[in-house]
Amino acid sequence: CIMLAVTPGNADIANSEAIKLAQQVDPEGVRTLGVITKADIMDAGATLLAVFLLRDESTPTECCNSC
């Protein structure tokens, strides 16, 4: 069973209800696939945040160290 957590890219991704619900049901994220729609209209800050969330990184430092 796979859960899709769909969030529009032009919304506040960090406070997405879909992501919060997915984390409650699947805290380890092994059965959840995050889907961000409307990526073409995201601003730069939202894009960076989306990358952190999708990579399950909690801080920019962790993301940069893994590159």
pTM for the structure as a whole:
0.59
Radius of gyration of the chain (CA): 12
pLDDT of residue 58: 55
Cα–Cα distance between 10 and 46 in angstroms, integer? 8
What is the distance between the alpha carbons of residues 48 and 67, in angstroms, rounded to a whole number?
A: 14
Kindly report, residue by residue over 41-53, the tens digit of the pLDDT. 777 666 666 666 6
Question: CB–CB of 58/51 below 8 Å?
Answer: no
pLDDT, the chain, mean: 74
Q: In the predicted model, what is the mean pLDDT of residues 17-25? A: 88
Alpha helices in 1-67 (DSSP H): 17-25, 44-54, 60-65
Geometric angle at alpha carbon 12, from 60 and 48, rounded to 5°: 25
